Structure 1
Amino acid sequence: MRIGVVFPQTELGSDAGAVRAYGQGVEDLGFRHVMAYDHVVGADPAIHQGWKGPYDVRTTFHEPMVMFGYLAAVTSLELVTSIIILPQRQTALVAKQAAEVDLLTAGRFRLGVGLGWNAVEYEALGQDFATRGRRIEEQVGLLRRLWTEQTVTFHGEYDRINGAGLAPLPVQRPIPVWFGGESPPAYRRAGRLADGWFPQMSPGPKLQEAKAMVDEAAARAGRDPSALGMEGRLNWRGDPDEAADLARQWREAGATHIAVNTMKAGLGSVDEHLAALRSAAETLGLRRD
């Protein structure tokens, strides 16, 4: 089971120097990958009365693809979007950005995608919130074609390409696409289309139920359910025994990856996050190269 970390976007977002220190620090501790959340804009609660989203206009977020270009130059970590809100972005541009990150990392990149929940953000980016589920299915197929074919002609419901393609193509052909989401349609979509998925719950009956839906959808699509990756989340709160037990549960549940998350743990600086991750690394038995 490969063990990585969640970049604490909301707590280090305005400190550019912290990006380098964090990336190099977690690599030195023996973690294998960094995953990053994605939001382009936040809603202003003063304008959007009754706003209840977990993030707003004051919440800091680095743009994942740009940040990954920087991290690719200063670390050898695998870089993971978890998740890029794909339907609010231009498909060909995402394909180009992902191909570039894949090249800069020598193939150490996973593109995690999902639908998102913020209609305000979709409006700001000029996309239709209501059709995001249908659009993402079309987009994933088109992404894979753009990453593997020199020239593409595609006339879909949402995208049109006439004899065009990316150059250079990525190292991974195609780049692995992992899905987020926490609903039965999202689980079935992951089973049909994804290379892996990010459960949004802890091990237990709800995870078993979700995994069964993923596996059933994969089998119905003629795919091997055991070939799909699964990345769990381990929220570090300073209790080594709790963390070790949760990692064990994820392993027994079939997780291929887990990510240690130190967001919302009361940590205010990159040094504090790295100190917490040092404890987590020791608990999880990571080895420094």
Structure 2
Amino acid sequence: MQFWCGTPFMKTTESLAVARMVDDAGYDGMICADHLIYPRDLRSPYPSPTGKPGWQPETAWPDTWVMIGAMAAVTTRLRFSNAVYVAPARPLIEVAKVVATAASLSDGRVSLGVGIGWMREEYELLGQEFGNRGKRLDEMIPALRALWQGGWVSWSGRYYEVPEMMIEPHPPQPVPILCGGESDAALRRAAALCDGWIGTAYTFDDAKAYVSKLDALRREFGRADQPFEIMLALMDPPSPDLYKRAEDIGITAVMCAPWMTDPAVAADGDVERYRGPIERFAESVVAECR
């Protein structure tokens, strides 16, 4: 079982020090999230019962790939990914370039976690179509794999047309692509086109149901015998037994934030306040699951 910590809702200036602590404590990776802005007039419904995001407008969402590059520079083992990067809100070539650069600088310690997002305003600000974002992501995934091969590369499809070009640096090894989202379309995209799936937070029983759906879809697409990552957070009380049970049903990585329930971390102060929760969880859970 892999254990990944998240940067969302952390003070941006603390993230590098926390990444070093997580690296030293033996965790496997760090997750970044992606939002560009919070519009004054938010018209797009958030996918929740209230239709509203659970964070305040002033919440910081630092750029995913700047964060990953910075954290990679101060760590030696950690891998980095997204939960999730709204790739179709950006031009194809831009996504190919930033991910390839991060992969090169980190010596291949990155994955790309993609999703279609929900905020129309972000797409409009970037000049990208919102209505066909799912179909464009379906094409973007194989296009990115082609553009990352190195040498003279090109791509021709319905939504993207890339003439033969050189795009360097290219990744030192294939970049795993994971798909986020719980809709039928997202699950099918993950099973058919991707190297894994990224969920959110679930009870064990709900997580097991998603794993079963993905297993069935992978069999449908003839990919059941290929490696496949499943990363999510579990809402049940953390314990080595819980994560061993999760591994037994096919979950390969869990997202955790050991500091989230610590009142000392919630208060502003020295970044060292993160160290205790990180190390205690590593000793009591992570080490027991190795």
Q: Normalising TM by the smaller chain, what interval?
A: 0.7 to 0.9
Partner of 2:208: 208
CA distance in 2, matches of 1:120, 1:246: 39
| 1:21-64 residue CA offsets vs partner (Å, 9 max, x unmatched) | 1111111111121111111112225x659971234531111111
5+ unaligned residues in a row in structure 1: which ranges?
A: none
Aligned counterpart in structure 1 of residue 33 of structure 2, from 37, 57, 62: 37
TM normalised by structure 2 equals: 0.86
The residue type paired with residue 20 of structure 2 is: Q
Larger displacement relative to structure 2 (266-275 or 251-260): 266-275
Equivalence for 1:227:
227
Please show how residues 1-289 of structure 1 align to structure 2 within 5 Å: 1-7=1-7, 9-13=8-12, 16=13, 18-45=14-41, 48=43, 52-76=52-76, 77-172=78-173, 174-202=174-202, 204-225=204-225, 227-234=227-234, 242-262=238-258, 265=261, 267-269=266-268, 270-286=271-287
Per-residue CA deviation, residues 191-249 of structure 1 (Å, 9 max, x unaligned), is: 0011011133435443333223322322232223551111121469xxxx644443233
Q: Deviations over 1:166-204 (max 9, x none)?
A: 1222111x2100111011221111100110111334354
1:4 to partner: Cα distance:
2.0
Shift of 1:150: 2.0
Change (3 A) 1:225 1:207: farther
- Could you tell me how far 1:156 is from its partner in structure 2? 2.4
Amino acid at match of 1:11: M
Question: Residues 28 and 62 of structure 1: is their aligned pair in 2 closer, same or farther, counting only changes over 3 Å?
Answer: same
Aligned partner letter, 2:9:
T
Alignment identity in percent? 28
Tell me, what secondary structure is at the counterpart of 1:60?
Answer: coil
Distance 1:82 1:49, change over 3 A: closer
Q: 1:216 to 1:285 in 2, by over 3 A?
A: closer
Could you tell me which residue of structure 1 aligns to residue 48 of structure 2?
Answer: none
Q: Which runs of 5+ in 2 are unaligned?
A: 46-50
Q: Secondary structure at the match of 1:154?
A: strand
**Shift in alpha-carbon separation, 1:212–1:120, aligned structure 2, 3 A:** same
Kept after mapping to 2: 8 A contact 1:184/1:210: no
Deviation at 1:273, TM superposition (A): 3.4
**Is the CA contact (8 Å cut-off) linking 2:147 and 2:155 kept in structure 1?**
no
TM-score where L is the length of structure 1: 0.86
Q: Provide, for residues 84-111 of structure 1, a one-character-per-residue CA deviation record: whole Å limited to 9, x for no partner.
A: 1111011111111111111111111111
> Residues of 2 paired with 1:43 and 1:144: CA distance?
33
RMSD: 2.5
Is the 1:5–1:261 Cα contact (8 Å) retained in structure 2?
yes
Deviations 1:122-142 (A, max 9, x none): 222222221111010010010
Give the conservation status (yes or no) of the 8 Å contact 1:188–1:213: no
Verify the 8 A CA contact 2:44 2:120 in the aligned structure 1.
no
Secondary structure class of the residue paired with 1:84: coil
